[in-house]
Amino acid sequence: MDFSTSNEPNREPNPENSGGEMGNPGPAMSGGSENKEFDFRDPIQSFVAATKGVLLKPTGFFRSIRHQGDWINPILFALIWYMLAAIVGALITLLFGSLSSLGSSGAGDQAAGIAASLGGFIFAIIVAPIVAALILFVMAGLRHLLIMLIVGSQNAGFEATLRVQAYTFATRIVWWIPVLGAIVGFFYGIYLSIVGIREVHATTTGKAAMVVLIPVAIALLILALLVALIGAAVYTLIQQQM
C-alpha cells in the first residue's frame, strides 16, 4: 500500500491524469483494467475492474479517475455494492430467523416467525437504496466542507469528493460478515477515503487524514457522551431503588 505521510505543499495535478487543471475531467479510463471506472454500458466487466482497482490498487485508481462529467456511474456503483451487501445480510438473517422459527413448538408460531423474517428481508431490500443514497451524499457533503476548509479553494470540486465516497462503497464486499466484516470494512474504508481524497484533490496525506478522521472523532465523542449519560441514568435509578 502506498500511504505516503509527506507534509509537503499541495502537489500539482498531473495533466495526464486530471485534464491539466484542478477539477477538470480526467481522460476516459484506458490501459490496465485495475484503473477502469464503472460504466453501466459495460456493467459486469467494469464493475469487477473498478472493485479490484479501488480495493487492491487505490492510489493508482484514484489518481487516474475523472473529476467531473459523470455523476451517474459512481453513484450506481455505490448503490449496487450497498444493495448486494444488504441482500446477502438480509438472506443470512432470513435463514437464521427461519431456522429459529422451525424450532418453535406450534405451527402458528413457526409460520409467524417465517413471515416476520421474510418481511424483514423485503423491508431491508426496499430501504437499502434510500439509506445508501443518504450515506453517500451526507458523507460526501460533510467531507467536502472540510476539504474546502483544510485543503482550500484549489480543490477538485464536490463531484470529485462524491466519486471518492462512492467508490469506497466497494468495502461492502465484507460488510455482510457478522461483526468482523463491519470492523474490517469500516477501517479499510477510512484508508481508501484518505488515499482517494489525497489523490483527487492533490493534497497531502496529513490533510486528507484530517478531512476523514475529524468526523470520526466527533462521532466517537458523541457516542462516548451518550454512553456516559445512559450509564449515569442507570446508576441513578439503581441508587434510588436501593
User: What confidence tens digit (pLDDT) does each residue in 173-217 have?
Assistant: 998 888 899 999 999 999 999 999 999 999 999 999 999 999 999
pLDDT at position 125, please? 81
Which DSSP category does 204 fall into? Answer: -
Between residues 188 and 111, which one has the greater pLDDT? 188
The pTM of this model reads 0.77
Return the pLDDT at 48.
96
Spatial distance between the Cα atoms of 164 and 130, rounded to a whole number of angstroms: 19
Mean pLDDT score, 126-142: 93
Stretch 96-105: mean pLDDT, rounded?
58
Under DSSP, the state recorded for 3 is -
Task: Say yes or no to pLDDT of 65 above 60.
Answer: yes
Residue 32 makes CB contacts below 8 A (sequence gap 6+) with: 60
Give the count of alpha carbons within 13 A of 180, CB side only: 1
Name which of 6, 49, 32, 1 is nearest 198 in CA terms: 6
Percent of the chain residues topping a pLDDT of 70: 76
Nearest to 65 by CA among 103, 108, 109, 19: 19
Position 117 confidence tier, pLDDT thresholds 50, 70, 90: low
For residue 116, is pLDDT > 80?
A: no
Convert the pLDDT of each residue in 22-42 to its tens digit.
344 444 443 444 568 999 999
What's the pLDDT score for residue 14? 43
Give the residue-averaged pLDDT of 127-147: 94
Instruction: Give the C-alpha separation, 136 to 170, whole Å.
Output: 12
Given this model, what pLDDT does residue 70 score?
A: 84
Task: Give burial (CB, 10 Å; 0-12/13-18/19+) of 157.
Answer: middle
pLDDT at position 127 over 50: yes
Quick one: pLDDT at residue 39?
94
Nine-digit cell string for 105: 413448538
The set of residues, in sequence order, having a beta carbon less than 8 Å from that of 27 and lying 6+ positions away, is 16, 17, 19, 66
Q: What is the pLDDT of residues 44-56, one digit of tens each?
A: 999 999 999 999 9
CA distance 98 to 101: 5
